Structure 1
Amino acid sequence: MSDSIILGIESSCDDTSAAIIRGNQILSNVAANQQIHNEYGGVVPELASRAHQQNIIPVVEKAMTKANIQQKDISAIGFTRGPGLLGSLLVGTSFAKSLSMSLDVPLIEVNHLQAHILAHFIEDANDKAPIFPFICLTVSGGHTMIVLVKDYFDMEIIGKTIDDAAGEAFDKIGKIFGLDYPAGPIVDRLAKTGNDTAFTFSKPRLENYDYSFSGIKTSVLYFIQKEIKKKPEFIQENLADLCASVQKSIIDILMNKVEKAAKDLQINEIAIAGGVSANSALREAMQLRAEKLGWNIYIPKFEYTTDNAAMIAMVAKLKYDRKEFADLSVSATARYDIEEGFTQKSQP
């Protein structure tokens, strides 16, 4: 079945994306971004679903054109069932179901979180694919978790955030600094010219592999409030150092838990996935620990880190080979449990 041609559709948040995969090779990966949310400081669900309705047909057509295929060439259609914004997911789900029915090809539902992890198996995602079992730090605006990946669809969540996700922390702290949304990439850029030891912020003390990022957000807020009382221009004068220090704190929190899990489980195959895996400091921290601890690390190409349809197509291909198809009664679900399709493991 390696010659199968699969259309992947991703619409979980504010990016409308379509991709074509043949075997493990991505032939096209197209996305339409929604800039309108920037002025609101976050994604507005109603606006997002409307934009998906406008974008989905042109995006799918462009993906097919770039891949040089026609509708009759499509073997199956994979789509993001969840988790995500319900209005956004409904657009992608409805379109996928309609096209599947009209072309009379199988429909394949995909767990968005599994897709971030399995993006590593796209042919050009890395120099080589991870070897099972591996540990994957999956970190984005909505999710932060450590997953033990035993096989394509045999995964255990061994740690996750108990409050904010790491990407959410970047955005909320960026807002405190007066940065535009999304703040994560801006913090990363500004941090490059800053001193990451200029300021220290509190870090959580959790015994297991779980994360917490609400504490650092509060720590930064109180610190800034105190400093601007003394000097109103404090943020502007120290912005690069503040960004560098915050970024270092968040990356340290993330990597310390991964290092603990790798040591406890005696696994040196370590991957990162999700939107925050595009962060340059996180990538550098992975490289440094790989050299120090002898890890084999897997860092995906930038285009496969943020929400994209290539990762959806990759999972759909794996499910297609197993003949794991959905029927037309399948529905989108905003709160698709992160454990669904995974195996939940008790904490050590």
Structure 2
Amino acid sequence: MSITILGIESSCDDTSAAVIRDGVLLSNVIASQAVHEAYGGVVPELASRAHQQNIIPVVGEAVKRAGIDKTELNAVAFTRGPGLLGSLLVGTSFAKGLATSLDIPMVEVNHLQAHVLAHFIKETPEDKNQPDFPFLCLLVSGGNSQIIKVNAYNEMEVIGQTIDDAAGEAFDKCAKVMGLGYPGGPIVNRLANEGNPKAFAFSKPHIPGYDYSFSGLKTSFLYRLRDELEKDPGFIEKNKADLCASLQATVIDILMNKLRKAAKDFGICEVAVAGGVSANTGLRDAFHEHAEKLGWKIHIPKFAFTTDNAAMVAMTGYYKYLDQEFCPMDAVPFSRVVI
């Protein structure tokens, strides 16, 4: 008998719904929110209101594209956290209502675990590109930078994480200082492709173990701009591409140094990357370089699965359904947690 899972993702500013049947993706619908661009960042109240407007049509479209009837669903998987509480509450409440109306169980999903398990989404039944256990996963986004040792789909261990800011946050805030707009990460990536990554040197942290720190890099970047602007008010405009290229190269170097150390220490050559920053072309190139030089077997998600999406939620829900790991109706969302 087939197992069909509806996934709902509403942790930040993307409303998404997806349907997975027996591990194969049938549909994945995402509605983004342009309203936040004017504010230079996500406004939680506006995000939750937009989710309320989007969630019914998005879920309806996901079911329609999957070519199924909602009565064929075996469970509703939803992101319980971490994320923005108001946004999560919309998805959680909708999941409760739908599960009750269909008399099917709910499955709560940890957003960070879902990013890792995005690597197991199959787009066809013949898809065999999933990682073998154990593997290391570099999870990098606007809110998280972690190295995770994945022993099984339901057994993950965080062996390193940021002690302050995340890599994506460093990109966004440095971009904001340069007046590049929001979200800053993709803009930095685009300009970096036109610049010299060795044009400027920025501070790199010396943190023991596998943990990360990006606050010093941001400070170093800010002070460099301040000093140069005093000498030349047009410094940023004249050097945008080189600044972005040097910033991106520094962030990637920090990320890969710790990941390389972890892979060597644990003797693991199966290495994956996940999260929003995994869409960065420089980081993807670095993974390919390490695969060639160190013999890593790398796993890089499709761009559609790098940002917040319900396909990864449905995939995680599918595995938890196999374990009959359901959640009660009184479950409430949470804003912060680690794997």
Q: Assess same fold via TM > 0.5.
A: yes
User: Secondary structure of the equivalent of 1:178?
Assistant: coil
- Which stretches of structure 1, 4 residues or longer, exceed 4 Å deviation after superposition? none
Q: Does 1:39 align with 2:38?
A: yes
Q: How far did residue 48 of structure 1 move?
A: 0.4
User: Secondary structure of the equivalent of 1:150?
Assistant: strand
| 1: CA distance, partners of 2:71 / 2:233 | 63
Q: How far did residue 49 of structure 1 move?
A: 0.3
Q: Does 1:338 align with 2:338?
A: yes
User: Which runs of structure 2 are paired with 1:1-348 in the superposition (5 Å)?
Assistant: 3-124=2-123, 128-335=129-336, 337-339=337-339
* Cα-to-partner distance string for 1:160-218 (whole Å, 9 max, x where unaligned): 00001100000000011111111000000011110100001010001210000000100
| 2: CA distance, partners of 1:209 / 1:57 | 42
Q: How far did residue 8 of structure 1 move?
A: 0.1
* Cα-to-partner distance string for 1:62-100 (whole Å, 9 max, x where unaligned): 111111111111111000000000000000000000100
Matched residue type, 2:55: I
| 2: CA distance, partners of 1:117 / 1:334 | 19
* Cα-to-partner distance string for 1:261-283 (whole Å, 9 max, x where unaligned): 00011100000000000000000
Q: How far did residue 240 of structure 1 move?
A: 0.4
User: Secondary structure of the equivalent of 1:200?
Assistant: coil
| 1: CA distance, partners of 2:106 / 2:6 | 10
For the structure 1 residues 122 and 85, does the alpha-carbon distance in structure 2 shift closer, same or farther, using more than 3 Å as the test? same
* Cα-to-partner distance string for 1:138-181 (whole Å, 9 max, x where unaligned): 00001110000001111110000000110000000001111111
Q: How far did residue 5 of structure 1 move?
A: 1.0
Tell me the C-alpha RMSD between the 2 structures. 1.0
* Cα-to-partner distance string for 1:114-145 (whole Å, 9 max, x where unaligned): 00001101114986110100000000001110
| 1: CA distance, partners of 2:149 / 2:22 | 25
User: Secondary structure of the equivalent of 1:141?
Assistant: coil
Q: Which runs of 5 or more structure 1 residues have no equivalent in the other structure?
A: 340-348
Q: Which runs of 5 or more structure 2 residues have no equivalent in the other structure?
A: none
| 1: CA distance, partners of 2:132 / 2:73 | 30
User: Secondary structure of the equivalent of 1:77?
Assistant: strand
Q: How far did residue 58 of structure 1 move?
A: 0.5
What's the TM-score, normalizing by structure 2?
0.98
| 2: CA distance, partners of 1:328 / 1:124 | 31
| 2: CA distance, partners of 1:18 / 1:161 | 30
Give the paired residue count. 337
User: Secondary structure of the equivalent of 1:188?
Assistant: helix
What's the TM-score, normalizing by structure 1?
0.95
